[in-house]
């Protein structure tokens, strides 16, 4: 069987009796501007074993005392291992059922082969970034992983499985599977249940389904796995592996645990998986100045529309967006651009404006939240939805989306840390 890039892993889970609601904490890259959220998490967890103690919320990444936090994280990981708080499930997958306000979605936890991953902008690898990777974000994250004995994933990776052949057969008979965790998630996170997949016939069925998907791909551009969330975490694991493997011979490279990264794959066609566009706010910029910058990079037409028409009209074309400056809602349609997706052209405008220090820019979830910030000298910019049907095709044709183009669900629907794996 070919290297499919994804396989079963030796998964660590907290032993029964540990309070899983306090153990599982939302992805570290959420609520980065909301210290109140993390204060509430601290108060809730207190002295219980928790992934809060073995991950670094990114709100603290640039703050004083980071080195001490990282040292304490590594120390606590070793303590958790020595204290025996984990059960290890060898050569296994975990089927994950997640219930949120949006709905129910399913995923499969296993390990990705970092040899099959390239986050470069022109990558043609089996595993690929979906947004531009900011290289400056990798070194501070490598500091965290460098000496850590464990990894805990908030990485979600998408597969385009229209036949529902990989995850859904397990979903449909989950009542026959062993439940290895079942818990509510703190801070409005919903509920998560994990089912053990360790039987040979089940693992073989997963590999066979993935291989059927692989052989249908263009061998010169074989995109099988597209990053959903956690691209910079996976890029960090890849960068560190490239360092480590220089000191290993070929046999050592094959078996080294650092060659792999624990992730959750999800089918992009799962109805519980919701994509949301991420919108833009331009602070201290007039509409006239925005359009002057836009004229330098693209042709366009513009028309005034009503507030109630925004969502419908902006989604008539991937080349559209809406500008609100506090007085009018303007639908902009781009023409003759190299890449159809409006976010590419908008990013070119952002880059030009920031280079001249003409304004500052922020990236906002939710159309209503974004529009509420428009006016008073600011501009709100609303982008169209990202289609599941064309998502993989867009990556194949354009290589990746501009940074912060889409989000999978709301902040409290991001992946929570549960599973762990030894990486040394």
Q: Nearest 5°: phi and psi at 146?
A: -55, -50
Which residues is 131 bridged to in the sheet? 401
Residue ranges per domain, the chain? 6-12+89-273+410-422, 277-404
Confidence at 192, pLDDT banded by 50, 70, 90: very high
| 292 neighbors 183 (Cβ within 8 angstroms) | no
Collapsing DSSP states into helix, strand and coil, what is residue 337?
coil
The per-residue pLDDT for 403 is: 80
Tokens of 313: 């009209």
The per-residue pLDDT for 2 is: 67
For residue 188, pLDDT beyond 70: yes
| 249 neighbors 408 (Cβ within 8 angstroms) | no
Collapsing DSSP states into helix, strand and coil, what is residue 347?
helix
Which of 374, 363, 253, 255 has its CA nearest to residue 307? 374
**Mean pLDDT score, 279-305:** 96
| 108 neighbors 93 (Cβ within 8 angstroms) | yes
Collapsing DSSP states into helix, strand and coil, what is residue 77?
helix
Lowest mean pLDDT among 14-23, 204-213, 269-278, 307-316: 269-278
- CB 328: neighbour CB atoms within 10 A? 11
**Mean pLDDT score, 303-312:** 97
For residue 132, pLDDT beyond 80: no
Which of 392, 250, 382, 396 has its CA nearest to residue 316? 382
Tokens of 58: 């990114």
Query: pTM value?
Result: 0.89
Report the distance separating Cα 138 and Cα 236, nearest Å: 5
Q: Nearest 5°: phi and psi at 150?
A: -125, 155
Which of 284, 286, 280 has its CA nearest to residue 360? 284
Domain 277-404 has CATH 3.30.1760.10: yes
- CB 101: neighbour CB atoms within 10 A? 11
Report the distance separating Cα 135 and Cα 348, nearest Å: 19
Tokens of 95: 């089927």
Tokens of 362: 């922020």
Buried b (16+ CB within 10 A) or exposed e, 226-264: bbbbbbbbbbbbbbbbeebbeeeeeeebeebebbbbbbb
For residue 1, pLDDT beyond 60: no
pLDDT in tens, 175-187: 999 999 999 999 9
**Mean pLDDT score, 281-287:** 96
Tokens of 10: 């030796």
Report the distance separating Cα 215 and Cα 2, nearest Å: 10
- CB 397: neighbour CB atoms within 10 A? 12
Is the CA virtual torsion 64, 189, 170, 407 positive or negative?
A: negative
pLDDT in tens, 21-65: 999 999 998 888 789 999 999 999 999 999 999 999 999 988 889
Collapsing DSSP states into helix, strand and coil, what is residue 192?
strand
- CB 335: neighbour CB atoms within 10 A? 9
**Mean pLDDT score, 90-103:** 96
**Mean pLDDT score, 405-410:** 83
Report the distance separating Cα 395 and Cα 400, nearest Å: 5
Confidence at 95, pLDDT banded by 50, 70, 90: very high
For residue 393, pLDDT beyond 60: yes
Tokens of 4: 């499919």
Which of 9, 4, 2 has its CA nearest to residue 264? 9
């Amino acid at each position: 069987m070919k290297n499919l890039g994804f396989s079963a892993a030796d998964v660590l889970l907290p032993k029964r009796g540990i309070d899983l609601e306090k153990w599982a904490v939302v992805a570290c890259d959420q609520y980065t501007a909301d210290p109140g959220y993390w204060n509430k998490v601290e108060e809730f967890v207190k002295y219980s074993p928790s992934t809060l103690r073995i991950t670094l919320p990114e709100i603290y990444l640039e703050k004083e005392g980071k080195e001490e936090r990282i040292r304490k994280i590594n120390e606590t990981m070793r303590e958790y291992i020595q204290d025996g708080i984990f059960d290890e499930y060898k050569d296994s997958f975990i089927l994950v059922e997640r219930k949120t306000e949006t709905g129910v979605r399913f995923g499969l936890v296993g390990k990705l082969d970092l040899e099959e991953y390239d986050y470069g902008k022109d990558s043609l690898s089996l595993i690929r970034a979906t947004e531009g990777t900011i290289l400056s974000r990798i070194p501070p994250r490598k500091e965290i992983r460098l000496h850590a004995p464990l990894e805990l994933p908030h990485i979600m990776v998408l597969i385009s499985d229209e036949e529902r052949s990989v995850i859904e057969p397990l979903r449909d008979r989950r009542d026959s599977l062993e439940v290895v965790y079942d818990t509510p998630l703190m801070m409005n996170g919903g509920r998560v249940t994990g089912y053990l997949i360790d039987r040979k016939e089940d693992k073989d069925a997963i590999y066979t389904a993935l291989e059927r998907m692989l052989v249908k791909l263009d061998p010169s551009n074989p995109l099988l796995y597209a990053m959903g969330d956690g691209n910079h975490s996976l890029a960090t694991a890849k960068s560190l592996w490239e360092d480590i493997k220089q000191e290993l011979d070929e046999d050592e490279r094959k078996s080294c645990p650092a060659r792999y990264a624990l992730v959750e794959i999800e089918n992009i066609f799962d109805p519980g998986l919701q994509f949301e566009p991420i919108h833009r706010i331009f602070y201290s910029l007039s509409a006239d100045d925005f359009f002057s910058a836009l004229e330098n990079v693209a042709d366009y037409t513009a028309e005034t529309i009503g507030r109630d028409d925004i969502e419908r009209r902006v989604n008539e074309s991937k080349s559209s967006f809406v500008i609100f400056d506090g007085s009018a809602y303007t639908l902009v349609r781009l023409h003759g651009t190299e890449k159809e997706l409006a976010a590419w052209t908008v990013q070119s405008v952002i880059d030009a404006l920031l280079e001249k220090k003409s304004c500052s820019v922020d990236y906002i979830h939710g159309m209503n939240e974004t529009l509420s910030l428009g006016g008073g000298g600011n501009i709100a910019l609303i982008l169209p939805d990202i289609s599941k049907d064309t998502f993989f095709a867009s990556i194949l044709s354009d290589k990746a989306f501009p940074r912060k183009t889409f989000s999978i669900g709301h902040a409290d629907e991001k992946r929570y840390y549960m599973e762990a794996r030894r990486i040394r």
